[in-house]
Amino acid sequence: MQNYIKIPLRGVGQVMLQNNAATGLLFLAGIFNNSWIMGLGAIIGTVIGTITAKLLHYSEEDINDGMYGFNGALVGIAIWFYFGLTLSSSLALIIGTVLSTMIMHTMNARIPAFTAPFVISTWLVMLGIKIVATIPFASSSLPQNDSLDLFSAISMGIAQVMFQGNVLTGILFLLAILVSSRMAAVYALYGSLLGALLAMLLGLPLNMINVGLFGYNAVLCGLALGTKKWDGFAIATGAILLSVLLNYGLGKIGIITLTAPFVIITWVALGIKHLAGRGKST
């Protein structure tokens, strides 16, 4: 019984690459602090993703580590974030979660999937909703700002990894990461800070900076690539900076970016590291 509770919690923790049930529990606390609907979406998503993996007889070790829960958790949060809690959106959540699990299994055999299954399945489900159900997007306007609120930007940059525009949620998320890894917590802070500062230097909209919209992909890049060594720090820094540019660029052409900038840039960084390693060995 204890493992049936820990596995979904690890799944939520794996959203930020932390294989830790306590981290997942604190993440859920942070989400529920901001929205019980999105908190429920995270739980349902990670449970459906895990059950799907079990029914399809995927790796038991990966299932136990929450690897088939985190993309489902993100799908669950995202669908109800964008479309609200309705019968149609709930059906879309189930379809998207199952799809993300299957994509995860296919991709992870060839390349680290990270949150790509979430991005792909959510885009497909959104397209399906637009064609079939025509559920309107849940609208929310950004606050108007004429000055940078760096504390808010950093905290919400961490919170926005799971669509949460809430300062206290960001603090709870950072505490959750710290429970699992001090180095990961440092890179989460660094990613959110550097992402906000670069966005400010580029003159990007302050209302988007202050709610963390240029921080969350940067946070994930820091978590995925940052190490204690200088080369790891340098690669993470480059990826963080590029994530801000790609996030803004994709948004300008009308793409709902989700965590696509993080996935693309991290894949490129890992590919460069692989090629550089092969060059040294020859």
Q: Where are the domains of the chain?
A: 2-133, 150-281
The predicted structure's pLDDT at residue 45: 98
CA-closest candidate to residue 76, choices 102, 99, 103, 104: 99
Mean pLDDT of 25-31: 98
Domain 150-281 homologous superfamily, CATH: Ammonium transporter AmtB like domains (1.10.3430.10)
Mean pLDDT of 198-207: 95
Mean pLDDT of 170-196: 98
Mean pLDDT of 42-53: 97
Query: Is 150-281 in the same CATH topology as 2-133?
Result: yes
The predicted structure's pLDDT at residue 275: 79
What residue type is assigned to position 244 of the chain?
A: V
The predicted structure's pLDDT at residue 200: 95
The mean predicted confidence, pLDDT, of the chain is 93
Residue partners of 65: CB distance under 8 A and separation at least 6 = 10, 14, 19
**Model confidence at 225: pLDDT above 80:** yes
The predicted structure's pLDDT at residue 247: 96
Instruction: Considering only CA atoms, give the Rg of the chain.
Output: 18
**Model confidence at 282: pLDDT above 60:** no
Mean pLDDT of 264-278: 86
144: DSSP letter = P
Would you say domain 2-133 falls under CATH 1.10.3720.10? no
CA-closest candidate to residue 175, choices 52, 54, 18: 18
Q: Which two tokens stand for residue 170?
A: 């960001």
The predicted structure's pLDDT at residue 2: 61
- The predicted-structure confidence for 103-153, as pLDDT tens digits, reads as follows 999 999 899 999 999 999 999 999 998 888 667 776 666 777 778 899 999
CA-closest candidate to residue 114, choices 251, 277, 275, 270: 270
